[in-house]
Chain A
Amino acid sequence: MDLATLTSQLRALGEEALPKIAAAPDLAALAELDVAYLGRKGGALSGLMRGIGQLPADDRPRVGVAVNEVREAVEGALASARQRTAQAALAARLAAEAVDVTTPGRPIARGSLHPISETISRIAEIFGQFGFVTYEGPEVESDATNFQMLNIPPDHPARDLWDTMYVDIDGGLLRTHTSPGQIRVMHAERPPIRALLPGRCFRYEAVDASHASEFFQVEGLMVDEGTNLADLRGLLDEFAHAMFGAGRATRFRPGYYPFTEPSVAFDVGCLVCGGMGCPACGRTGWMTILGAGMVHPVVLQHGGIDPERYQGFAFGMGVERIAMLRHGIGDVRIFLDNDLRLLEQFR
């Protein structure tokens, strides 16, 4: 073996290996070629290198350079071929894994809050921003707490405003409104008071599209020195805007409750016609959303609060009424029916 032969064999090896590597179809073929040319035992390059020892010492470095050139060329070709093949394999796998992306996803079950509790939460959240604290009172009350403490003596004609269900407990009745809570809060807290009282109420009232014998109210109470009707108006305006939209028109008009003086009804511009007048608003352009007023001095006294020093206002709203206006519900009976076809729309 002489230098020239070995050199030409090395060149031939390179010329043979590089096209084969370029043509290798996959990683396995490349691995075979790697062993065949570069394998430490039995590889073609190793075989040629065994001939180096037979060369004169002066020639060896030159051959060494040539061997390295061939090795690097083969190794480089193998590496780039591996990268190319891996990319192709990946592309093939991804292509094979394609799915129809237009199908709907796997549904995640979710229930819904009942519109009554959802609406109470919303009301509490709005008034909570003004420092109103939530309290609760019992549903079985007495004539004293449901009426007399609220300036509605026995046999008062205003009792016609509340048809009442009585129970087989002495003096007991099912509260007709959340207003008894006013007295409870006044006994529990000293002014400044800002209280919100949500809860279930009962009336002896035949059920139809707009009347229910069980319904929910939210009562509000604020008492402090100097709390006045303008505070009530300002607060209720904020509430109406938060609940029904910033541009909603509002108005006060006189109302009547024995436990407030003055008493007001609070109207918002009709949510159906916007104020032009339509059947939904009785052609007045207004919808009443709650009753309110300045707490009657007698009620403050029953709450243990000096009416000469303190003033306060109270309001009471029907939760169903608010929910009906907010969600476009036309019939109050749906609330306690619990037809899932309706409830699940609140998801």
Chain B
Amino acid sequence: MRVPLGWLRDYVDLDLSPDALAERLTLLGFEVKGLERWGSEWRNVVVGELLTVEKHPRADRLSLTTVDVGAGEPLQIVCGATNIAPGQRVPVALPGALLPGNRAIERTEKMGVVSNGMLCSGDELRLSVDGEGILILPLGTPLGTALADLYGDWVLDVDVKPNRGDALCLVGLAREVAAATGKVARFPEILLREDGPPIGEVLAVGVEDPELCHRFVGRRVNGVRVGPSPGQVQRRLLAAGTRPVSNVVDATNYAMLELGKPTHAFDAGAVARDARGRAALVVRTARPGERLETLDHVERVLSPETLVIADENGPLAIAGVMGGAASEVGESTADVIIESAVFDPVSVRRTAFRYALRSEASLRFEKGQESRLARIGADRVAELIAAWAGGRIASGRIDTAPDEPVPARVGYRPARVDRLLGTSLGPKAQAALLARVGIATEPAPDGSGVVIAAGATPRSVAVAPGEARGAVVPTWRRDLLIEADIAEEVVRLAGYEAVVGKTPDTAMPHVRPNPLELRDALRRALVGAGLTEVVTPALVPASAAAALGWPVLAAGGVPGEAAVDGPLVTVTNPLSERHAVLRRGLVGSLLDVLALNERHGRGDVAIFEVGKGYAQAPDGAPAEWWRLAFLVTGSAGATAWNLPARQYDLDDAKGIVELVARVLALPDPAYAPHLDGAPLHPGRAARAVAPGALAGLVGELHPSVLAAWDLRAERVLVAELAISGLSAGQLVPVRVAPVGRFQPLERDLALVVPEPLAAAYLAATLRGAGGDTLRQVALFDIYRGAPLAAGEKSLAWRVVFAADERALTDEEVDADVARLVSAVASAHGARLRT
């Protein structure tokens, strides 16, 4: 809320500098987010007196004036306005002046006559909304005074929290300033001259639904003259960020900013009369099919939940949200009806959202209004209208619920307040602090409990005699309901420096496994392997999720994974189409990162992400699971003068998959050619599986994907891995196998096989035939070419045999090798290369 200090002074004395006041308010819970010198925009604008006003010799529509600005020779200034006359005091923008909107004023020539500056309208200075005539200043205004000194003001931008609707106004903030500075807040004194007819003869109000309209206070002012508000009122409204409209409308806005009470003024002439000739209003919900053209000139079809102010012909206004165009106060309005009501906060909030019409008024209704304000608001607005627009105030008010509630009692235990705060203020100091915001304290009646929780789950506890006190809460403080609220009020007023920090010294919780352990271990390992971690948005375009067509695999035994191919989770109110669904996989996001970095001229990219996939489970519940994905392209590792470039290839990608398995102490993943429709190179993609622990695809992206993402890279290797334990698994301690005392025996076997045979199958046959002394089967060379036939390849394996308890003999190992050779010969047609 924008708070002009010149206006705030009406309600409390201020002897602090604006900076100091801002800090006090901030420390009291009313954060000052900005401190602005209003009027700092008027540079080189001073008060002048018109000495002469004559016709411009060459232009009928212009006047030639001489102006005394209090110093030096009178200035000759050309002016286009018609409301000026000698003797008036006016704002003069001197050459070199800068007006709002960065409008620079210079000495100019207008139709052959030199103009030494400009006379300003209120609109040009943003001092009023009058853009037609020159702003005429009061007669006694001192000549030569800078306008910034005359009308400038400090304006605080105060962040009023949603629970403090009572302070969303100048009077409310004045109360807080008073609490902070020890001054006394002044409520505006309302003096009404009720010289009109009795209200009962000119206004009738019916409330059909008191649940939605707790109180309606109506007043009427007859015979007003609608026109501009006084200059000071316009200046105050503008400084507070509200555009002046007319004296009647400004009166309602002025009272809202002053008291926090939104009111509405109807043109009484547009309200139907009842049989007794009274303007008759009714507060009710809208009937099916009813329509209303609101003040913004939008015709709205009203839903049946909408609370309206109506007459017998239909709705006139949406209660608490916006008035109707037909009953709007305008220049022809003679009689005005003032509505000052308390509407149900939830109803107003819902209605404002329904019509996308959240206003300063609806914001205040939503936060709840104290009943008293209905009466005070009606009186204040009637007073201001009569003062600014004339007219006679009808005597008395229509009031549908004149009984005003008494202050509530909130019980609290001073010892508990100190226990919660970690302070030792004691009952007396607490009471003194509360008194600063008008909260009186008294002994709580014996037998009364203390309310420690309210709302949906209320809870009251019994207390020992004398243990509790009662806080008498002013009616405007709707936020103080339970003991903890009183504690907050105490510490807020004491200042949080009263809370002296100490390191917690109570019992420690039990040790629990760290759910990030596995992911952190993987992150660190991959960073060590030269990959950079990325974190990308979880929300992606719906089209991208479909376009990539990456099959989502499951590792097995992972929470949420059953849903991996369930329907996408779609945002129903997305910020943009680019962030519309929750992704099921990470590869598309990595492609986006590659594309961005390629645009920056970067071809070598090695990145990974540990992130979530999301989908809907078959029962419609949301499911989330963790994934690891990486992408490598361009030069593998670093390149330098002493390290020639090498391009990433599929073997690098598989090496990364194996590193991941090793970090997690998983079995080595087995690879199988991938034949399903993944967006991968059909000959360079593998399914990697470590049963029950890891599953995923690793491969080179299909050129069509590169084209779809507009990527320049020729070869991009990607993988996405489902890993059990990624969500909250723990690293398993290594189980050490004893190092054998006996020397293992090694043999090398070069096996010639047909080209299509995958190495993994050959290895599996070797392992299967090896017996229990076979310790290792490792591929160490692949050879193609003479003397092998075309369509053949030689895979060279090192096989290692060992036994724990004895030395193996060459003879038995030779026998084992012979068994291996015959096994692969019969299984795969392999022969030993000689």
The complex places the Cα of A235 from the Cα of B422 at a distance, in Å, of 13
Q: Determine whether the beta carbon of B642 is less than 8 Å from that of A103.
A: yes
Produce 1/0 per residue, A75-110, CB < 8 A to B. Answer: 000000000000000000000000000011111111
Chain B residues positioned under 8 Å from A172 (CB to CB): 569, 622
> Which one of B4-12, B400-408, B604-612 is at the A interface?
B604-612
Any A CB within 8 A of the CB of B551: no
Among the listed B488, B499, B533, which residue makes an inter-chain contact with A113, where contact means beta carbons less than 8 Å apart?
B533
Any B CB within 8 A of the CB of A224: yes
Any A CB within 8 A of the CB of B104: no
Chain A residues positioned under 8 Å from B728 (CB to CB): 136
> Which one of B59-67, B391-399, B451-459 is at the A interface?
B451-459
Any A CB within 8 A of the CB of B602: yes
- Considering the complex, give the chain A residue whose CB is closest to the CB of B479: A256
Most buried by B among A139, A195, A258, A298: A298
Chain A residues positioned under 8 Å from B526 (CB to CB): 111
Q: Determine whether the beta carbon of B509 is less than 8 Å from that of A261.
A: no
Q: Determine whether the beta carbon of A134 is less than 8 Å from that of B532.
A: no
Smallest Cβ distance from A289 to chain B, in angstroms?
15
Produce 1/0 per residue, A143-171, CB < 8 A to B. Answer: 00000100101111110110001111110
Q: Determine whether the beta carbon of B492 is less than 8 Å from that of A262.
A: yes
Produce 1/0 per residue, B785-815, CB < 8 A to A. Answer: 0000000000000000000000000000000
Among the listed A189, A206, A253, A282, which residue makes an inter-chain contact with B575, where contact means beta carbons less than 8 Å apart?
A206
Any A CB within 8 A of the CB of B420: yes
- Considering the complex, give the chain B residue whose CB is closest to the CB of A301: B457
Any B CB within 8 A of the CB of A193: yes
Most buried by B among A108, A117, A254: A254
Chain B residues positioned under 8 Å from A4 (CB to CB): none
Any A CB within 8 A of the CB of B756: no
The complex places the Cα of A211 from the Cα of B568 at a distance, in Å, of 26
Any A CB within 8 A of the CB of B660: no
Chain B residues positioned under 8 Å from A264 (CB to CB): 496
Smallest Cβ distance from B772 to chain A, in angstroms?
40
Q: Determine whether the beta carbon of B503 is less than 8 Å from that of A344.
A: no
The complex places the Cα of A179 from the Cα of B505 at a distance, in Å, of 24
Most buried by A among B33, B511, B579: B579
The complex places the Cα of A6 from the Cα of B22 at a distance, in Å, of 119
Chain B residues positioned under 8 Å from A344 (CB to CB): 532
Any A CB within 8 A of the CB of B49: no
> Which one of A15-23, A36-44, A57-65, A335-343 is at the B interface?
A335-343
The complex places the Cα of A281 from the Cα of B621 at a distance, in Å, of 44
- Considering the complex, give the chain B residue whose CB is closest to the CB of A252: B496
Produce 1/0 per residue, B517-541, CB < 8 A to A. Answer: 0001001101111111111111100
Chain A residues positioned under 8 Å from B502 (CB to CB): 230-231, 233-234
Any B CB within 8 A of the CB of A226: yes
- Considering the complex, give the chain A residue whose CB is closest to the CB of B502: A234
Q: Determine whether the beta carbon of A117 is less than 8 Å from that of B642.
A: no
Among the listed B22, B455, B509, B537, which residue makes an inter-chain contact with A214, where contact means beta carbons less than 8 Å apart?
B537
- Considering the complex, give the chain A residue whose CB is closest to the CB of B505: A231
Q: Determine whether the beta carbon of B453 is less than 8 Å from that of A307.
A: yes
Among the listed B459, B488, B600, which residue makes an inter-chain contact with A261, where contact means beta carbons less than 8 Å apart?
B488
Q: Determine whether the beta carbon of B622 is less than 8 Å from that of A153.
A: no
Chain A residues positioned under 8 Å from B485 (CB to CB): 261
| Given A113-B533, A339-B597, residue A226 in contact with residue B419 (CB < 8 A) | yes
Chain A residues positioned under 8 Å from B82 (CB to CB): none
Chain B residues positioned under 8 Å from A254 (CB to CB): 27-29, 488, 492, 496
- Considering the complex, give the chain A residue whose CB is closest to the CB of B512: A133
Q: Determine whether the beta carbon of A104 is less than 8 Å from that of B640.
A: yes
Q: Determine whether the beta carbon of A169 is less than 8 Å from that of B620.
A: yes
Chain A residues positioned under 8 Å from B602 (CB to CB): 340-341
> Which one of B132-140, B342-350, B816-824 is at the A interface?
B342-350
| Given A131-B509, A214-B539, A298-B457, residue A311 in contact with residue B572 (CB < 8 A) | no
Q: Determine whether the beta carbon of A134 is less than 8 Å from that of B514.
A: yes
The complex places the Cα of A115 from the Cα of B454 at a distance, in Å, of 42
State which residues 160-179 of B face A: CB under 8 Å: 161-165
Among the listed B453, B507, B511, which residue makes an inter-chain contact with A133, where contact means beta carbons less than 8 Å apart?
B511
- Considering the complex, give the chain A residue whose CB is closest to the CB of B493: A254
Chain B residues positioned under 8 Å from A338 (CB to CB): 534-536, 593, 596-597, 607
Q: Determine whether the beta carbon of B420 is less than 8 Å from that of A228.
A: yes
Chain B residues positioned under 8 Å from A302 (CB to CB): 457
Chain A residues positioned under 8 Å from B491 (CB to CB): 229, 262
Chain B residues positioned under 8 Å from A235 (CB to CB): 501, 503-504
Any B CB within 8 A of the CB of A174: yes
Any A CB within 8 A of the CB of B83: no
Smallest Cβ distance from A65 to chain B, in angstroms?
54
Any A CB within 8 A of the CB of B573: yes
Among the listed B162, B515, B579, B582, which residue makes an inter-chain contact with A158, where contact means beta carbons less than 8 Å apart?
B162
Chain B residues positioned under 8 Å from A139 (CB to CB): 538, 612, 614, 624
Among the listed B22, B162, B535, which residue makes an inter-chain contact with A160, where contact means beta carbons less than 8 Å apart?
B162
The complex places the Cα of A167 from the Cα of B539 at a distance, in Å, of 11
Chain A residues positioned under 8 Å from B727 (CB to CB): 136
Q: Determine whether the beta carbon of A138 is less than 8 Å from that of B508.
A: no
Produce 1/0 per residue, A297-320, CB < 8 A to B. Answer: 110011000011001000000000
The complex places the Cα of A227 from the Cα of B614 at a distance, in Å, of 37
Smallest Cβ distance from B791 to chain A, in angstroms?
38
Total contacting residues, chain B, CB less than 8 A = 110
Chain A residues positioned under 8 Å from B620 (CB to CB): 169-170
Chain A: interface residue count, which band?
35 or more
Any B CB within 8 A of the CB of A192: yes
Chain A residues positioned under 8 Å from B508 (CB to CB): 131, 192, 194
Smallest Cβ distance from B232 to chain A, in angstroms?
30
Produce 1/0 per residue, B470-508, CB < 8 A to A. Answer: 000000000000101101100110001101111110111
Chain B residues positioned under 8 Å from A108 (CB to CB): 638
Q: Determine whether the beta carbon of A192 is less than 8 Å from that of B509.
A: yes
Q: Determine whether the beta carbon of B501 is less than 8 Å from that of A230.
A: yes
Any A CB within 8 A of the CB of B52: no
Smallest Cβ distance from B628 to chain A, in angstroms?
13
Q: Determine whether the beta carbon of A117 is less than 8 Å from that of B523.
A: yes
Smallest Cβ distance from B615 to chain A, in angstroms?
10
The complex places the Cα of A251 from the Cα of B27 at a distance, in Å, of 10
Chain B residues positioned under 8 Å from A228 (CB to CB): 419-422
Smallest Cβ distance from B642 to chain A, in angstroms?
5
Q: Determine whether the beta carbon of A169 is less than 8 Å from that of B616.
A: yes
Any B CB within 8 A of the CB of A222: yes
Q: Determine whether the beta carbon of A261 is less than 8 Å from that of B350.
A: no
Chain B residues positioned under 8 Å from A104 (CB to CB): 640-641
Q: Determine whether the beta carbon of B496 is less than 8 Å from that of A261.
A: no
Smallest Cβ distance from B758 to chain A, in angstroms?
30
Among the listed B26, B34, B503, B616, which residue makes an inter-chain contact with A234, where contact means beta carbons less than 8 Å apart?
B503
Q: Determine whether the beta carbon of B569 is less than 8 Å from that of A140.
A: yes
Produce 1/0 per residue, A246-263, CB < 8 A to B. Answer: 000001111110100111
Chain B residues positioned under 8 Å from A222 (CB to CB): 504
The complex places the Cα of A60 from the Cα of B164 at a distance, in Å, of 127
Among the listed B456, B501, B597, which residue makes an inter-chain contact with A153, where contact means beta carbons less than 8 Å apart?
B456
Produce 1/0 per residue, A176-210, CB < 8 A to B. Answer: 00000000000001001111001010101111000
The complex places the Cα of A117 from the Cα of B533 at a distance, in Å, of 9
Chain A residues positioned under 8 Å from B503 (CB to CB): 130, 231, 234-235, 238
The complex places the Cα of A151 from the Cα of B612 at a distance, in Å, of 29
Q: Determine whether the beta carbon of B533 is less than 8 Å from that of A192.
A: no
Q: Determine whether the beta carbon of A336 is less than 8 Å from that of B536.
A: yes
> 5 tightest CB-CB pairs across the interface, nearest first?
A230-B422, A254-B29, A109-B530, A233-B501, A262-B488
Footprint of A on B, CB under 8 Å?
A: 22-23, 26-29, 31, 33-35, 161-165, 345-346, 349-350, 363, 366-367, 419-423, 452-457, 459, 461, 482, 484-485, 487-488, 491-492, 496-497, 499-504, 506-509, 511-512, 514-516, 520, 523-524, 526-539, 569-575, 579, 582, 593, 596-597, 600, 602, 605-608, 610, 612, 614, 616, 620-622, 624, 637-638, 640-643, 727-728
A-B contact pairs, 8 of them (CB 8 A): A114-B533, A134-B515, A140-B624, A153-B456, A169-B569, A204-B575, A238-B503, A284-B23
